[in-house]
């Protein structure tokens, strides 16, 4: 029997006179991959921003592992075990693969003046330990990429950059991974490769749950266990991909009414 991990309860978000999310309720179970889909402007990214503490809610509540996280800061939400990627790359292109990944979990390295200037041997040992952790994580996606940990990410193709972004999110050992249009900017073949990576990540990560926002319906069909469909900030359908694909209201939302 599945265990509930996340629950939105009548969550509303208004920006002035615009209601971006309207009494939105949904849930996510432990180990589940949930597709959050809908036309542009339907409230998908707003849901992510509310969940991760970037936006304050207007109404409702969000519970994660039986804790109300509705009023937590982005840092506090991160510390509960929720991480995300973004549609537009947030990598620092001149920095190395290793540096970009460790931005996702800076707590692994000492940052005090004493540690960096005086305790050089201990700092070096911790650096080597974190380098191995980061390299092992990258190796689960690509052995070739793991051999280039000190290369700048600006020299990498888009699919490798996406892998690095996911590794940066995973380095802290989260319980919930939010993927915001991971296929953006990639070819069909690259997208298929990345989706295989994501399924492998879910299979390896004990209890890791994933919510994916994605416009490519082939991606949603392939990797999700269940889908929630938004339109104009309201939930209009929920179920497996096969179920929502046959839903007339979903079809109208995407294709319009004749």
Query: What is the pLDDT at residue 3?
Result: 87
Query: What is the pLDDT at residue 205?
Result: 67
Residues lower than pLDDT 70 in the chain: 1-2, 106-120, 123, 205, 256-258
Query: What is the pLDDT at residue 80?
Result: 95
Cα–Cα distances (Å) from 184 to 85, 163, 188, 201, 214, in that order, read 12, 13, 10, 19, 9
Q: Sign of dihedral through CA atoms 115, 133, 151, 89?
A: negative
Contact 223, 212 (CB under 8 A): yes
Q: What is the pLDDT of residues 89-115, one digit of tens each?
A: 889 999 999 999 988 776 555 555 555
Cβ count near 238 (within 10 Å): 16
Query: What is the pLDDT at residue 1?
Result: 41
Query: What is the pLDDT at residue 109?
Result: 57
Query: What is the pLDDT at residue 146?
Result: 94
Query: What is the pLDDT at residue 70?
Result: 93
All domains in the chain, ordered by first residue: 1-81+174-224 (3.40.50.300), 92-173 (no CATH)
């Amino acid at each position: 029997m599945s265990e509930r991990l996340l629950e939105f309860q009548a969550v509303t978000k208004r920006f002035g006179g615009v209601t971006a999310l309207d009494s939105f309720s949904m849930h996510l179970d432990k180990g589940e991959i949930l597709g959050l889909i809908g036309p542009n402007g339907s409230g998908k990214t707003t849901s992510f921003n509310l969940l991760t503490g970037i936006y304050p809610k207007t109404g409702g509540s969000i519970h994660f592992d039986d804790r109300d996280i509705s009023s937590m800061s982005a840092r506090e939400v991160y510390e509960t075990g929720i991480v995300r990627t973004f549609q537009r790359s947030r990598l620092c292109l001149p920095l190395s693969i290793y540096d970009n990944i460790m931005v996702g979990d800076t707590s692994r390295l000492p940052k005090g003046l004493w540690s960096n200037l005086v305790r050089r041997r201990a700092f070096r040992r911790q650096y080597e330990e974190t380098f191995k952790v980061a390299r092992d994580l990258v190796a689960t996606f690509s052995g070739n990429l793991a051999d280039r940990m000190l290369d700048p990410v600006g020299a990498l193709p888009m699919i490798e950059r996406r892998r690095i972004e996911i590794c940066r999110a995973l380095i802290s050992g989260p319980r919930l991974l939010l993927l915001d249009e991971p296929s953006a900017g990639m070819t069909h073949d690259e997208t298929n490769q990345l989706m295989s990576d994501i399924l492998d990540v879910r299979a390896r990560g004990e209890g890791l749950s994933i919510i994916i926002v994605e416009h490519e319906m082939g991606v949603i069909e392939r990797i999700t266990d269940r889908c929630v469909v938004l339109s104009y900030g309201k939930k209009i359908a929920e179920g497996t991909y096969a179920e929502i694909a046959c839903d007339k209201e979903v079809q109208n939302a995407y294709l319009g009414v004749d």
